[in-house]
Amino acid sequence: MRNASGPRAPMPDDLSPAGAVQVGLGSRSYEIRIGPGLLADAGSAIVPFCTGQKVVIITDETVAALYLEHLTDTLGDAGIAHRTITVPSGEASKDFSTFERVAEEVIGGGVERRDLIVALGGGVVGDLAGFVASVVLRGIDFIQIPTTLLAQVDSSVGGKTAINSSHGKNLIGLFHQPRLVIVDTDTLDSLPRRELLAGYAEVVKYGLLGDQDFFAWLESHGDALLAGDPSARSYAIRVCCEAKARIVAKDEREAGIRALLNLGHTFGHALEAEIGYGGGLLHGEAVAFGMTLAFDLSARLGRCSTGDADRVRAHLAAAGLPISLKETPVQNPADAADRLIGHMWSDKKVAGGKLTFILADGIGQAVVTQDVPLKDVRAVLQAAA
Ligand code: NAD
Ligand code: GLY
């Protein structure tokens, strides 16, 4: 990755335990605790939220093999009764049939309204478990313990819960805020490189949408973060969580600025829909492709410089993320543009019959707009074939 000439944010030695990030939502406010080794003590962190009799852990098969025992041990030490529901790993578990099975198992095991669901895993588990928690008994509390970089910087914070529809991604869901988010940065040690990179795309997103200094910092420290440097990792996760907390506190239900968090998603979701969920492209990879095109489109429309678009492309490519269609499993990239535009119309980013795009007036200056000619969207997609 190239060295940035811009200003650099300082990198602290590490995060202090007092450094929890607050999500300020009045009576529904909660903390995001970030640091190494937090899973081992999760039981005592959860006790104050455990007003009912028991905890239902929802996790996936991969995470269960790695971390479930750590969680059940600490819950046991804290005297919290618990049971576990495990789903297959991967995006396919955000479907109706898995939702039905999990909800029925939660209810069948004798859940009460003051019981607690704990989501242990990546964004798939978090979105699914959060949705189950939001509807079972008309809503019970839940806690997020995210174990992927993507989930630690994005999906575990902000209360969006969802499963996928055959018509598109995350189309069935509710806003339901967690009571607590526990980010144990050590869990990233076992994350496959490709999943780490997919999460890194979401990290880059925060720089691109609103923090040019953070993007410059990533240009010079992104390698260290991806290599597992604990300080770089904790620092970046904290910056992202602080940014997301600020945005969610101002606009919980995405009536305005929260939409900026969808940078890269209009193109990215269309690509995911075209390829098929679980069809070989990770969500973060789709977002990386989408952010590249969002900046290409911004440059084409004269909103940002081609230099900014080039800088985005160069950084994502250097990290090893896909920035063109031929780097993805999409069929026939050369004539994919209209198919992708077709998927955009099924996404929930359509408002008043118009497609919504997050474009940028420069790095760190994202804007929401519906004022985008389709011929320009088509042109950047064709150029990205
Ligand atoms: P994921 O949950 O499928 O996890 C990726 C893979 O990594 C899975 O196979 C999982 O088993 C494995 N894994 C998880 N933690 C691990 C660890 N510590 N070590 C080894 N393997 C581990 O995918 P994801 O990228 O975390 O999340 C993607 C999902 O998040 C998508 O469905 C997306 O729509 C959703 N999302 C939601 C929001 C939101 O605001 N709710 C935001 C962004 C993305
Ligand atoms: N990941 C987008 C949001 O939480 O709004």
| CATH class as words, domain 17-190 | alpha beta
Torsion sign, CA atoms 276, 87, 72, 143? positive
Is pTM beyond 0.75? Reply is yes
Q: Where are the domains of the chain?
A: 17-190, 263-383
pLDDT tens, 178-237?
999 999 999 999 999 999 999 999 999 999 999 999 999 999 999 999 999 999 999 999
Q: At residue 358, does pLDDT exceed 60?
A: yes
Residue tagged 């996760």 (tokens): 237
The burial class, CB within 10 Å (0-12 / 13-18 / 19+), for 175 is middle
- Name the residue among 225, 291, 303 with its Cα closest to residue 260: 291
Partners of 34 in the β-ladder: 183
Q: Which CATH architecture has domain 263-383?
A: Up-down Bundle (1.20)
- Among all bound ligands, the one having the nearest atom to the CA of 161 is 1
Distance 160 CA to ligand 2 centre (A): 7
Distance 92 CA to ligand 1 centre (A): 11
Whether the CB-CB separation of 321 and 200 falls below 8 Å is answered with: yes
Are β-strands 354-355 and 350-351 bridged in parallel, bridged antiparallel, or unpaired? Answer: antiparallel
- % of the chain at pLDDT higher than 70: 94
pLDDT at 10: 55
State the number of CA atoms in the 13 A half-sphere of 182 facing the CB: 23
Across the range 83-98, mean pLDDT stands at: 96
pLDDT at 12: 53
CA distances from 7 to 12, 213, 338 (A): 16, 6, 40
Q: Using a 6 Å CB cutoff, which residues line ligand 2? A: 154, 158, 160, 254, 258, 261-262
